Amino acid sequence: MGKFDGKVALITGAGRMRGIGRYAALAFAKEGAAVTVTGTGRDPSTFPDDEREAGWLDVDSVAKEIVKNYGVGALSLVVDVTDPAQVQEAVDRTVAEFGRVDFLVNNASASRMAAWAAFEDLTPEAWRHVMDVKVTGAFLCTQAVTKQLLRQGGGGSIVNVISVEAKISRATDLAYATASGALYTFTKKAGRALAPHGIRVNGISPGTTDTARNDSLYGYPRSQDWDDRLQTIPLGRAGTPEEMGNFAAWLCSKEAEFIVGQCIEIDGGQSA
C-alpha cells in the first residue's frame, strides 16, 4: 500500500531526464498515485547528449517509466502553461483519464539562459517570458486545479518549485530571481487563501541542483565553474533532482498536512 493510492498528481515541467519534474513524478508514482506529466514539446535536436544516447522522448519517456516501474496510470501532455486554455485542457484530460486530481507540482520554468543578461541589456521580451512561465504559469495551473479540487471536495495539495535565487541572486540572473521572489509571495498568499478549503499550498526553493537546467552555465560533463560554485555551498555539494522531487511529494503527504504557505529552502545551507 502506498501513501498516495487512489490519488492523482499533475506535474509540470517534467520532461527532462535529469530534472526535478521527472523525479517528482516518480516519487508520486512510487507511492501509488497516477500521474500526468507535462512538458513544452522540446525539439529533440536540442536534447543534451545523454538524452539522445538514451533515446529519451521527453514526457513520453517519463510516462513509460512510471507505468513500467510502478504499474500506475500515466498521461503525458504537451502544455504551454502560459496559455489558460491549454492549462484547463490539461486538467480536464487528467480528470477524464483518472477521474480526479489531488496534487499539483508547478515545476515549469523558462530556460536558465532565457534572460541571462546585464541589467542594461535585459530586454522586455526576455523579462516577460520568464515571468510568464514561472509566475503566470503557476497561477494558471494553481487556479485550474483549485477549481477542480473545490468541485471534488476533500482538499488537496499544491507545491511550487521556486529557487534559492530569490535570496542569493546574481546580477545577470535578475529576471529569474525576481520571478522566484514573486512565486515565493504567491505561495504565501495562495496558502493563506486556500487553506480554509483544505487545499495546502507550499513551495520548495532548491539551491544549486545537478540538473540539465545547469548545463548551459556549467557544461556537461561539468566545468571548473561548477566546482567553484559548489564551494559556495556550506554542505560542499549540489542537490540532486531526486532529493527535490521526493521532498515535493512528501509535502503532499499526511505527514506534512499541517504545513501551509511555507517556502522551504533545500540548499545545503546556501542561503543561510
For residue 163, report the phi and psi dihedrals to the nearest 5 degrees.
180, 145
Read off the C-alpha cell for 166: 530569490
Half-sphere exposure of 107 (CA within 13 A, CB side): 31
Read off the C-alpha cell for 206: 532548491
Read off the C-alpha cell for 44: 529533440
Of residues 23, 70, 176, 218, which has the active-site annotation? 176
Read off the C-alpha cell for 164: 534559492
Residue with cell 477542480: 148
Active site annotation includes 176? yes
Query: Closest by alpha carbon to 205, among 247, 156, 233, 170?
Result: 247
CB-CB contact of 12 with 20 (8 Å): no
Q: Are strands 34-39 and 103-106 parallel, antiparallel or unpaired?
A: unpaired
Q: Pinpoint the alpha helices (H) of the chain.
A: 20-30, 49-54, 59-70, 84-98, 124-131, 137-152, 165-168, 174-194, 215-218, 224-230, 241-250
Read off the C-alpha cell for 132: 510568464
Residue 104 Ramachandran class (φ > 0 left, ψ -120 to 50 alpha, else beta) = beta
Read off the C-alpha cell for 53: 544516447
Q: Which residues form the catalytic set?
A: 176
